[in-house]
Amino acid sequence: MAVAISGFIGVIVGAILVTIIFNLRIRYEERKEKKRRLLEHKVKEIETLVLLNQKISEILQKRVILMDAYVSFDAFDDCYITIDDFAYLQSFAAQNSFYLPNYFLEEFFKKIGTRRVILSPDETVKIGGYTYKGGRVIMENFLDTLVEMVNERKSQIKNLTNEPLTYFSKSL
């Protein structure tokens, strides 16, 4: 009888140990998966910010290429954005709104929208885009903001990858 009771206690202790270890392993895997998803999200944010940065840089570089197409009243700090480029920026921002900081985009479009020079429809069709008074400065400031955000996301990724995963929670 004593052997049966000690065997039964051994089975119960073993079952409790297996349950505890299994629970720890599941929590470890969940934290590992959560960290992996968070890293993937940060990487996607960085990729999206870099793509937006490249597109805005391309728009700013078109000034040199399309200098003859600019209207005569353009100053050095004015910016010319083709209708296609502006539509691309808006659709890119809408499609990737989950990965982009919405506040900065709304402020950018609000600032750049108030700077648009009113031209006749014929002039707009002739040059194929809009001219924004002082828009170059706004776009360059937005580029700087994007670069700061990319660097911030990179440091967050570095901190996440350096953070060790343990079987026990941090409170232990």
Tens-place pLDDT, residues 79-121: 777 777 888 888 998 898 888 888 888 888 888 888 777 777 7
Residue 82 forms part of a structural domain = yes
- pLDDT confidence of residue 76: 62
> How many domains, the chain?
1
- pLDDT confidence of residue 153: 92
Specify the higher pLDDT residue, 69 or 12: 12
Query: pTM of the predicted model, to two decimals?
Result: 0.76
Are 97 and 52 in contact, with CB atoms under 8 Å apart?
Answer: no
Residue 170 forms part of a structural domain = no
- pLDDT confidence of residue 49: 93
- pLDDT confidence of residue 144: 92
Rounded alpha-carbon distances, angstroms, from residue 39 to 42, 44, 73, 154: 5, 9, 48, 10
DSSP structural state of residue 69: G
Residue 4 forms part of a structural domain = no
Residue 125 forms part of a structural domain = yes
Are 48 and 99 in contact, with CB atoms under 8 Å apart?
Answer: yes
CA 102 to chain centre: 10
Please say if the pLDDT value at position 171 is more than 50: no
- pLDDT confidence of residue 63: 64
Give the range of the structural domain holding residue 50, as residue numbers without chain letter.
43-162
Residue 80 forms part of a structural domain = yes
Specify the higher pLDDT residue, 163 or 2: 2
Residue 103 forms part of a structural domain = yes
